[in-house]
């Protein structure tokens, strides 16, 4: 079975294969999603399937203190916040 590079969609041969973030890349196609700089296994960070150089990962997401907010999503804790009893059962009255 041929392996296909996520970056260029071409066949990856064993000598040029890099496996990161559960995906296969050519060594030369393993680049930051933001600045396109070449990366190595020790110089990347990933979030939600995107790969970044560590400086841009920190700049884009760490400054917010919440990765979900960096993508415009609700905070994780808001997704699990319970409803008040009044909201769940409007038929109940005090």
CATH code of the domain covering residue 68: 2.10.110.10
Residue 42 lies in a domain: yes
Residue 89 lies in a domain: no
Residue 61: what pLDDT? Answer: 83
Residue 52 lies in a domain: yes
* pLDDT of 24 higher than 70: yes
**Which residue segment(s) compose the domain that 55 sits in?**
3-81
50-61, pLDDT tens digit by residue? 999 999 998 888
Percent of the chain exceeding pLDDT 90 equals 54
Residue 44: what pLDDT? Answer: 93
Residue 92 lies in a domain: no
How many domains, the chain?
1
Residue 59 lies in a domain: yes
Residue 49 lies in a domain: yes
Predicted confidence band of residue 85 (pLDDT cuts 50, 70, 90): very low
For the question of whether the overall pTM of this predicted structure is more than 0.95, the answer is: no
In three-state secondary structure terms, 3 is strand
Cβ-contact 75, 68 below 8 angstroms:
yes
Torsional sign, CA 46, 73, 8, 31: negative
């Amino acid at each position: 079975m041929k392996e296909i590079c996520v970056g260029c969609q071409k066949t990856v041969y064993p000598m040029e294969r890099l496996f990161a973030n559960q995906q296969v890349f050519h060594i030369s196609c393993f680049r930051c999603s933001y600045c396109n700089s070449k990366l190595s296994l020790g110089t990347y960070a990933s979030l939600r399937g995107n790969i970044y150089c560590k400086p841009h990962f920190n700049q884009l997401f760490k400054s917010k203190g919440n990765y979900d907010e960096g993508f415009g999503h609700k905070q994780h804790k808001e997704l699990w916040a319970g409803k008040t009893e009044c909201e769940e059962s409007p038929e109940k009255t005090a």
